[in-house]
Structure 1
Amino acid sequence: MPVLKIDESTRSARLDGAEISLGARAFDVLNHLHHNSNRVISKEELLDKVWAGTLVEESNLTVQIAGLRKVLGKGAIKTVPGIGYKFTLAAMPDDSSAETQKDAPAVPSIPSLAVLPFANLTGADENAYMVDGIVNEITSALAGVSSFFVISNTSTFTYRGKAVDLAEVGRDLGVRYVLEGSIQKAGNRLRIFTQLVEAKTSRMIWHDRFDGSSEDIFDLQDTVAESVAAAIEPKLIWAEAARAQAKPTDNLKAYDLCMKAAPLVYRQNALENLEDGLTLLRKALVLDPNYTYAKALICYAHTGAFAARWWPFEQAQAALPLAHEVLDSNSDDPLALCYVGHYIAYMGHDTNTGLTALKRAHSLNPNSANIEMLLGWVYNYIDQSDLAIEHLRRAIRISPLHPQVGIMTSGIGNALFQKGDIAEATKYYEQALTEYPEFATIQLGLMGCYWRLGDFEKSAQMAGWFRQKVPDMSVSLFRRTRPQNSEAYRDAVIGALRSNGFPED
């Protein structure tokens, strides 16, 4: 049994006789937990004790707890969902025992998570219903993402008031990730903290804070639920990709290949990355010829290859048969539907079919920033600029740190361009250029905007970049390949192309 000794006079700690290195905050957290090992300590109590008189985010406490678990062992400090932590060093279980592992459910092949009861730090038990309501909303929103496996609240709420560590929760429920959080209240103001953790390692993947009013609790519940779902979707894609990358190459399956390929396809910052992603995806299809998500990612890669003008239009159209295979399969995968729907609208110029697929994807998962982004762009193609702006702004609101935020920003610029607000469109395009310089649609739009504003020098600069990227660019090539049917956009870009010396054919 491990023996921990704490010397408050020297602010030092020894585990089994060996001194352990601790920062000042970590020592204070450990000292308070150790002195109160006979009871559960709320997060609020620890925050008040360790950061007395200082307003700090709960993530500061989480970082200290994670650090202590690394030093003392994962089972030394257990999470008590909806309350706080309990110091259990003296009763650490043997996680490797066969009895512990025997009845554990298998972890699904798709990203899996459980939403634990949130800690009620409002100081009033009567607010418990509100805390539970927010957890219910978040769980429902995440359950709407068909690419996730989400444990129901009937299972997760059984952990309320029990001392557990996250590795145990993951093992007992058969999930890879755990979402936990807390709610604080001052007057009618609410502050909600959420964090996504890999259960087995206790590694924090994502965290965020939301502020609102208890008077608007239902609106706040919706906002938190949609934001958490939107933020977690790309985070889990990248987390799963990292997990797959760590596996031996001789044991890869179709899912792991897709997860490795996803960030290469999404990043779209170099042709080499995109082609590497496509190689992985094609291997996945060899393993499983009916793998819908692999087909959809191939379509998304072809979209990016033309959007960055690495491939000519005809080469980028080569995946259209795959896109229609996905639609013909009657898939209920919202991400697959949105990728192929946009691809069909963008590269196939079939906006009716593409919009139908994207609307279905949106109904299946209304909290996906990817779906909002691509739906907004298809509304741009059919010159419904107000709807395009609405969806693109929502995409940014629910996922402001999205790796493809430049596509969202430039989409708003495109819509404003079509509406005739050239000065404002230019601002959005210029911002997008800093966010995603490889996206050739930005330079094309800026060339037209600057020309409309009479800034012919800047228009020529964009033309020079575009001519270097697409040496055979011509007015007829633009007419043939553009997805937008807006006359205002078309006429401005054609005017800029002619003014900057691009040939007709």
Structure 2
Amino acid sequence: MLAEFASVVDAVRSAIGMQQAMAESNSGLVQDRRIEFRIGINLGDVVVEDDGDLMGDGVNVAARLEGTADPGGICLSSAVYDQVRGKMDITAQDRGRQQLKNIAELVQIYSISPAQPAAAAPHTTVAPRLSIVVLPFVNLDGNSEQDYFVDGVTESLTTDLSRIPGAFVIARNTAFTFKGKPVDVRVIGRELGVRYVLEGSVQGGEARIRVNAQLIDTETGAHLWAERFDKPRADIFDMQDEITTRLARTVGVELVAAEGRRAERERPNNMDAGDLAMRGWAILNQPLSLRRDSAACDLFEAALRLDDCNVEALVGLAFYHGNDLRTFASTNRDEQLRIAQMAITEALRLAPSNALAHFVHANLLHVSGATERALRELQFAIALDRNLAWAHADAGFLKVLLGRAEEAEADLTKAIRLSPRDPALDRWYALLGIADLFLGRLNSALDRLR
């Protein structure tokens, strides 16, 4: 039987209901009296024949998926799985990319077994992109009085990472069940359904505190990134705030880069819109390069051809064109401004609380001459995500342009504290120097400009 649905969620829900009903019907029957179905579900265009029959590649893939399913099971294409993940309470097994009969491209397949009892169903949870758990940081001093500070770092990081668009962050209550226990990150990855673990330690002395952090891939156990912070002991809450905000900013950039590399490694010829958008942002997070940033634009456009509602790709496309305008690299100002404004308007319609989208919108207001409005938009972006270093830096820049140079230093200094190794660091110091020039502080200006 072939059935067409207007909604992917409805299709999967109906398939699960059918298989569960058949399992009930078969209970108590000997094996050779049972009726068991296989179901394959695909998302694609179909051609309706004169007699009402459905034809096309979308149908062919669904038929081949049905053939690979277990009796009583359901096989989904990646196009289907991406649509229902997070919207339905299902556990899927990743069967990898397979060659299906008479289908030219490899197909990424996921399977679910709703007819089997939960305890008997062999499965692994397919972890979402940008999924992470922050394990409780370890207090290396063993000083119980320092526990509240160490636990505070863990909790604040969990909160701050949750602000990253598209991130899936395990709640602190679950994370803290691992406190003080030896852990295998690969087991945690399978149990919690996450791709990454952030772990770390805190060690204190009389004058300084040292924080170590590592980002780990739960599939391989490989360390993807590590950082160490040495801070003078000061107000404990200010110190905690600075460490966690800086960590959150850096980890967010590293997560996007890791996801871009994963997509290139696992699906080089079959990337979906999310993969392409991640790869584009991994490029934009590097130092400014007109040629390389143009490659990011190509990736965002390719993502939007697959999914014109992908917010990360819409924001990335607007950011690229806005940056061309800001750096005077544009060869077609009116057209680039039109493309950028259309993209960011759609992104904000789809995700009105996306801080990065508001930051990019502020860029476009700035290049359009609406500097006061741009500053208000940046302040709104910062209210949504206090760790958005770019927004703090641009707020300082716009205050210089508006004749408020005395206010700029706080914003620019905040950006540098949040992202002390940012590719834009030279520009931020230059802006501090320019603010000093406006205020007549020539020696300070020379130091910063140098």
Instruction: Note the 1:311-322 alignment, pairs <5 A.
Output: 311-312=330-331, 313-318=333-338, 319-322=340-343
Give the corresponding residue for 2:65: none
Query: Is the CA contact (8 Å cut-off) linking 2:253 and 2:282 kept in structure 1?
Result: no
Query: Is the CA contact (8 Å cut-off) linking 1:376 and 1:389 kept in structure 2?
Result: yes
Give the corresponding residue for 2:435: 415
Q: Alignment partner of 1:251: what SS?
A: coil
Q: CA deviation at 1:408?
A: 1.9
Alpha-carbon distance change, 310 to 216 in structure 1, aligned in 2, over 3 angstroms: closer
Query: Is the CA contact (8 Å cut-off) linking 1:326 and 1:337 kept in structure 2?
Result: no
Q: CA deviation at 1:424?
A: 4.2
Query: Is the CA contact (8 Å cut-off) linking 2:197 and 2:216 kept in structure 1?
Result: yes
Q: CA deviation at 1:180?
A: 0.9
Q: Which amino acid aligns with 2:270?
A: N
Deviations 1:279-299 (A, max 9, x none): 211121122222222122112
Q: How many equivalent residue pairs?
A: 331
Alpha-carbon distance change, 113 to 120 in structure 1, aligned in 2, over 3 angstroms: same
Deviations 1:56-96 (A, max 9, x none): xxxxxxxxxxxxxxxxxxxxxxxxxxxxxxxxxxxxxxxxx
For residues 112 and 185 of structure 1, what CA distance do their matches in structure 2 show?
Answer: 30
Q: Which amino acid aligns with 1:304?
A: N
For residues 378 and 411 of structure 1, what CA distance do their matches in structure 2 show?
Answer: 10
Within the alignment, does 1:152 sit opposite 2:163 as a pair?
no
Q: CA deviation at 1:386?
A: 3.0
Alpha-carbon distance change, 325 to 205 in structure 1, aligned in 2, over 3 angstroms: same
Q: CA deviation at 1:154?
A: 0.8
Query: Is the CA contact (8 Å cut-off) linking 1:334 and 1:361 kept in structure 2?
Result: yes
Alpha-carbon distance change, 222 to 274 in structure 1, aligned in 2, over 3 angstroms: closer
Return the match for 2:187 from 161, 168, 173. Answer: 168
Instruction: Note the 1:271-290 alignment, pairs <5 A.
Output: 271-290=290-309
Give the corresponding residue for 2:384: 364
Alpha-carbon distance change, 270 to 136 in structure 1, aligned in 2, over 3 angstroms: closer
Deviations 1:244-278 (A, max 9, x none): 23243432111111111123334464433222221
For residues 340 and 102 of structure 1, what CA distance do their matches in structure 2 show?
Answer: 47
Q: CA deviation at 1:366?
A: 0.3
Q: CA deviation at 1:416?
A: 2.8
Alpha-carbon distance change, 373 to 199 in structure 1, aligned in 2, over 3 angstroms: farther
Give the corresponding residue for 2:58: none
Which ranges of structure 1 fall in alignment gaps of 5 or more residues?
A: 1-97, 432-505
For residues 403 and 215 of structure 1, what CA distance do their matches in structure 2 show?
Answer: 28
Alpha-carbon distance change, 306 to 254 in structure 1, aligned in 2, over 3 angstroms: same
Deviations 1:366-393 (A, max 9, x none): 0122222233333333232233322122
For residues 281 and 175 of structure 1, what CA distance do their matches in structure 2 show?
Answer: 25
Q: Alignment partner of 1:311: what SS?
A: coil
Q: Alignment partner of 2:223: what SS?
A: strand
Alpha-carbon distance change, 371 to 199 in structure 1, aligned in 2, over 3 angstroms: farther
Instruction: Note the 1:274-353 alignment, pairs <5 A.
Output: 274-312=293-331, 313-318=333-338, 319-329=340-350, 331-345=352-366, 347-353=367-373
Alpha-carbon distance change, 159 to 406 in structure 1, aligned in 2, over 3 angstroms: same
Instruction: Note the 1:354-503 alignment, pairs <5 A.
Output: 354-421=374-441, 424-425=444-445, 427-429=447-449, 431=450
Query: Is the CA contact (8 Å cut-off) linking 2:311 and 2:351 kept in structure 1?
Result: no
For residues 103 and 155 of structure 1, what CA distance do their matches in structure 2 show?
Answer: 21
Give the corresponding residue for 1:479: none
Query: Is the CA contact (8 Å cut-off) linking 1:258 and 1:280 kept in structure 2?
Result: yes
For residues 186 and 228 of structure 2, what CA distance do their matches in structure 1 show?
Answer: 24
Return the match for 2:258 from 239, 248, 259. Answer: 239
Within the alignment, does 1:179 sit opposite 2:198 as a pair?
yes
Name whichever structure is richer in helix by fraction: 1
For residues 249 and 214 of structure 1, what CA distance do their matches in structure 2 show?
Answer: 47
Q: So what's the TM-score if we normalise by structure 2?
A: 0.66
Alpha-carbon distance change, 386 to 145 in structure 1, aligned in 2, over 3 angstroms: farther
Q: Which amino acid aligns with 2:427?
A: I
Query: Is the CA contact (8 Å cut-off) linking 1:361 and 1:371 kept in structure 2?
Result: yes
Return the match for 2:147 from 128, 140, 155. Answer: 128
Q: Which amino acid aligns with 1:260?
A: R
Q: Alignment partner of 2:269: what SS?
A: helix
Q: Which amino acid aligns with 2:378?
A: L
Q: CA deviation at 1:301?
A: 0.9
Q: Alignment partner of 1:117: what SS?
A: coil
Return the match for 1:222 from 217, 227, 241. Answer: 241
Alpha-carbon distance change, 275 to 130 in structure 1, aligned in 2, over 3 angstroms: closer
Q: Alignment partner of 1:246: what SS?
A: helix
Q: Which amino acid aligns with 1:206?
A: W
For residues 286 and 412 of structure 2, what CA distance do their matches in structure 1 show?
Answer: 19
Query: Is the CA contact (8 Å cut-off) linking 2:319 and 2:360 kept in structure 1?
Result: yes
Query: Is the CA contact (8 Å cut-off) linking 1:234 and 1:402 kept in structure 2?
Result: no
Query: Is the CA contact (8 Å cut-off) linking 2:405 and 2:439 kept in structure 1?
Result: yes
Give the corresponding residue for 2:133: 114
Instruction: Tell me the percent identity.
Output: 29
Q: CA deviation at 1:364?
A: 1.3
Q: Which amino acid aligns with 2:374?
A: G
For residues 325 and 446 of structure 2, what CA distance do their matches in structure 1 show?
Answer: 23
For residues 440 and 357 of structure 2, what CA distance do their matches in structure 1 show?
Answer: 34
